Amino acid sequence: MKHLTYILITTGLLFACATEVKDDNAKSKIYRAAYNVLTDQENDNYEVFSANLDGTDVINITNLDGVEWTYRSMNDKVLYISDRDTCYRCYFLYETDALGQEHRRIGGPQLKDSWMDFRKGGDEIIVNPKVENDSAFYIINRNGELIQKVYTGMAYFSDPSFSPDGSKIVFRGSNKRFKANIGYQDELYIIGVDGHNLRQLTNYPESDTTAKWWQYHAGPPYWEPTRDLITFHSVQQGGSFLFQINPDGSQLKKLTPDSLKVGWHNWSSDGSLITFDVNTTGSDGKMNFDIFVMNYNTGEITQVTNETLFAQSAVLVEMKNPD
């Protein structure tokens, strides 16, 4: 398995001004990447794999018929949605460890295809449910029991992420439904968990027409807790890049180089690493996606996977240190 490393010399100033993660904290953390793989396109079979960050020890941790997708790690657990034991693409929430040794259905409502987040050390999870005659994010406990509903009042909303103190949510939303030819365009919004004080965070450049209606103007956000900043990806200027922005809307910065077409992303719990998928389609035109990891402080980017299978939507799972 080949591994490529990139050094972002041109963005050195960006990383120099970032809040630095303590070395002793970073060294104490060991991570695996868990990611979604299209194993059988004809039968629409997706699995969740995991691997060490050097690309070794690749494991299929779900190994089921149908669709399994991970959309968040929670400490040493992988949260994934699955249509196992139900109808086609009717998703419910499960958790497992990074090696797929123990699986548990969390319960709760049927879910939409959406990222999710947790607060209070993992005791509470915010999800995007598929419930008839209801349009809200649900905050549930580890048994799937409803704690609270958060109504945004928007025609479209998805991919919620908690603020570090758990009092606010950043999410992807639109005043138009997700549908062609009606003016749909997603942006990031912030709202209190009480459903008040909704405000728009991002503004896609008016002069940029490179993103189609179905592509991300502002992709699923992540509210990174150690620096209190928000990251997201966006299709702009003919590419797809990872950006960061402060919660007050200031200091928008591009994090990834023009040479990489970046998609979904996730942070390590200590804020030292970001993982994301990259469109690695070759000169032969055969489409492919692989998982990469970036050191936030140094800008070094390493390729984790190099397979013929689609590998997307990676999360970083904290492993228990045997020492």
Q: 125-150 pLDDT, tens per residue?
A: 999 999 999 999 999 999 999 999 99
In this predicted model, what pLDDT tens digit does every residue of 247-262 receive, in sequence order? 999 999 999 999 999 9
Asked if 115 and 220 count as a contact pair (C-beta separation under 8 A), the reply is yes
Q: For residue 308, name the pLDDT band (cuts at 50, 70, 90).
A: confident
Residues pairing with 34 in the sheet: 50, 315
29 touches 318 (CB < 8 A): yes
State in Å, rounded, how far the first CA of the chain is from the last one: 28
Query: Could you tell me which residues come within 8 angstroms of residue 266 by beta carbon, excluding any fewer than 6 positions away?
Result: 72, 73, 222, 274, 275, 276, 313, 314, 315, 316
- Domain total for the chain? 1
pLDDT of residue 11: 36
Tokens matching residue 150: 């958060």
pLDDT value for 282: 78
Please write the tens of the pLDDT for every residue from 19-32: 333 444 445 789 99
What are the pLDDT digits (tens) for 59-95? 999 999 999 999 999 999 999 999 998 999 999 999 9
Strand partners, 265: 276
Mean pLDDT of the chain, nearest integer: 90
pLDDT at 320 over 80: no
Spell out the alpha helix ranges (H) of the chain: 12-16, 23-27
Q: What is the pLDDT of residue 322?
A: 56
How many Cβ atoms from other residues are within 10 Å of residue 56's Cβ?
A: 10
Instruction: Report DSSP letters for 117-163, one per residue.
Output: EEEGGGTEEEE-B--TT---EEEEETT--EEEEE----SEEEEEEE-
Which structure tokens are listed for 100? Answer: 């797929």
Taking the CA atoms of the chain, what radius of gyration do you get in angstroms? 19
Residue 132 Rama label (left phi>0; alpha psi -120 to 50; beta):
beta
Instruction: Work out the pLDDT band at 16, boundaries 50, 70, 90.
Output: very low
Rounded to 5 degrees, what are φ and ψ at 24?
A: -65, -30
User: Which pTM was predicted?
Assistant: 0.90
| Domain membership of residue 203 as a residue range | 5-319
Check: CB of residue 198 under 8 Å from CB of residue 207.
no
Phi and psi torsions of 91, nearest 5°: -95, 140
pLDDT digits (tens, 9 = 90+) for 189-238: 999 999 999 999 999 999 999 999 999 999 999 999 899 999 999 999 99
> Which one-letter amino acid corresponds to residue 118?
F
Average pLDDT of 6-16?
A: 36
Least confident of 9-13, 153-157, 199-203, 211-215: 9-13
Strands 187-192 and 199-200: antiparallel
Q: 288: pLDDT confidence band, cut at 50, 70 and 90?
A: very high
What are the backbone angles phi and psi of residue 139, rounded to the nearest 5°?
-105, 120
Question: Given a cut of 60, is residue 3 above it in pLDDT?
Answer: no
| CATH code of the domain containing 203 | 2.120.10.30
Distance CA 99, CA 170 (A): 30
Per-residue confidence (pLDDT) for residue 323, from 0 to 100 = 54
Collapsed DSSP state (helix, strand, coil) of residue 88: coil
The whole-angstrom separation of Cα 306 and Cα 15 is: 27
pLDDT value at residue 206: 93
| DSSP string covering 265-288 | EEE-TTSSEEEEEEE---TT----
